[in-house]
Homo-oligomer: A and B are copies of this chain.
């Protein structure tokens, strides 16, 4: 199933939604890293979910933050190393590893929240208020 010459020549990577999705994400990560010191976007996402849900299993935290079990394991490991989360095994279900915010983790989350919101603002800065609203609405349909 090959393509016509004209298709091949007309294909412009820069116009591809997938490529631009990747670049927009790269840009957001860069902005976030600049504004939020000491936490990656994924680590911050994990703290946010723990703040929302309290003590939950590691895999559930992974699902809530869109990370598979292998990825969330590493994230939790690094958050534990920073003293931002605690984990303990569940007495009812001995498979489970309950994860929750430490006092320090809660404090760091609350402190960095402002910077995280600034990161969102700066990421969307090339758009007008109206456009940003539209963009976020459409984006939420693509997740």
Contact = CB atoms under 8 A, between A and B. Distances in A.
A20 B1 CA distance: 34
Given A13-B49, A120-B16, A127 B141 contact: yes
Number of copies: 2
Interface in A22-70: 22-29, 32, 41-42, 45, 48-49, 51-52, 64-66
Contacts of A143: 20, 23-24, 27
Interface string A58-85: 0000001110000000000000000000
Contact of A114 (B3, B48, B115, B120): B3
Nearest to A108: B2
Contacts of A124: 17, 142
A68 to B, nearest CB: 10
Contact of A18 (B12, B119, B140): B119
Range, interface on chain A: 35 or more
A13 B123 contact: no
Given A13-B64, A15-B140, 10 more contacts: A3-B113, A11-B117, A17-B136, A18-B41, A19-B45, A21-B24, A21-B123, A22-B25, A22-B42, A24-B139
